[in-house]
Amino acid sequence: MSEKSNTDDQLSAALRAADVVVSYAPLPDEPDAEAFLFQHDFAGEIVRTPQDKNSSPHEFAENLVREHGEKKVCILVPGSKFDEHGTRHGRGGGWYDRFLSALPIGWLKVGVALPHHVSLEKLERKEWDQPMDYVLVCDKDFKVVVPENRR
């Protein structure tokens, strides 16, 4: 993935401008992206995705759009692999792909990864896979990478 000197600033500015960030409760092998929000002075509302794996992604998306449709919204999306094209692979259930496909196009999608989740190889993208606008790599520090489609 390509790193740009101003990508941290770009994502920080986008997050500060957001009215709402949709986050998640991290599983043991997922990074906690909310620390990045607090380090970058995010003062908006945080909404978390349902923890019940049987919840309807479309219903959750419809409720978000109803409540926040005209606002600036950023979605933090965990995954098991990301590549330089913004392709994201999850856990295989498709919940996030169905959820993201039901959201307005203008809502920012930020993949959240640990360093070993970032692939140097191009990942296969299926027709239902929803590409990320940015990937936030969480290690001791945070690093923002820009998928090739946003360069």
Is 79 annotated among the ligand-binding residues? Answer: no
Residues with Cβ within 8 Å of 108's Cβ and at least 6 positions away in sequence, in order, are: 14, 18, 72, 73, 74, 75, 133, 134
What single letter denotes the amino acid at residue 132?
Answer: M
Residue 86 assigned ligand-binding role: no
Report the C-alpha gap between 88 and 90 in whole angstroms. 6
Does the annotation place 92 within a ligand binding site? yes
94 a known binding residue? Answer: yes
Tell whether residue 106 is among the known ligand binding residues: no
Judge whether 44 is annotated as a binding position.
no
* Known binding positions for substrate: 30
* Known binding positions: 30, 88-96
* Known binding positions for ATP: 88-96
